[in-house]
Amino acid sequence: MTQARAEILVGISGGIAAYKTADLVSRLVKKDYAVTVIMTEAAQKFIGKATFEALTNRPVYTDLFAPREHFLGEHIGLPRRADLLIIAPATADLLGKMAHGLADDLLTTTILATTCPILIAPSMNSEMWNKPAVQRNLKQVTDDGVNIIEPDEGWLSCRVTGKGRMAEPDQIEAEIIKRLAPAV
């Protein structure tokens, strides 16, 4: 295996679309990206840490107060080595925290300490997606320089069809590769 092309942080917040993130992580690892996963407590209710540890061959970070590797804390050390942070899925809750600079767990504190590009792939119920508060938060996040991979319209886990379905892993992968490609 060759040296990793880039260091990617993958943040996972608590939505049913977290299962798709396993496919995304696998795709990135197969392309020789170094991938580190940060999961919220809610994300762990949808998919286990062991899945991502097996896919990345790295520890999964979940706890703000249990540093494993960085003396100053994972929220400082992990983003310092990252070339890109992708959050998939990004829930309505996470968007609200990002829009208002709230940091109450490892993922949100890492977001605030991140200086590399940030991409998010929102995922939520279509009624939530259409709420004015969510759209205001989305606008604030984009005004702050975060790039959005728009959710798709389709069948949602709440048994309705609408906008809010997280983009497919191949779409997210293509956007990551585009963002990490050297300028020509």
- List the domain boundaries for the chain: 7-180
Average pLDDT, the chain: 91
- For position 76, what pLDDT does the model report? 85
pLDDT tens figures, 130-180: 999 999 999 999 999 999 999 978 766 767 776 888 999 999 999 999 999
Cis status of the peptide bond prior to 89, with omega within 30 of 0:
yes
Name the superfamily (CATH) of residues 7-180.
Flavin prenyltransferase-like (3.40.50.1950)
Check whether 5 has a pLDDT greater than 80. yes
Check whether 109 has a pLDDT greater than 50. yes
Instruction: Mark whether 116 is an active-site residue.
Output: no
Roughly how many angstroms between the first and final C-alpha of the chain, as a whole number? 26
- For position 150, what pLDDT does the model report? 95
107 with 34: CB under 8 angstroms? no
Structure tokens belonging to residue 96:
């609200």
Answering whether pTM is above 0.85, one says yes
Instruction: Please report which confidence band the pLDDT of residue 2 belongs to, taking 50, 70 and 90 as the band edges.
Output: very low
The one catalytic residue in 136, 158, 160, 170 is 158
62 with 36: CB under 8 angstroms? no
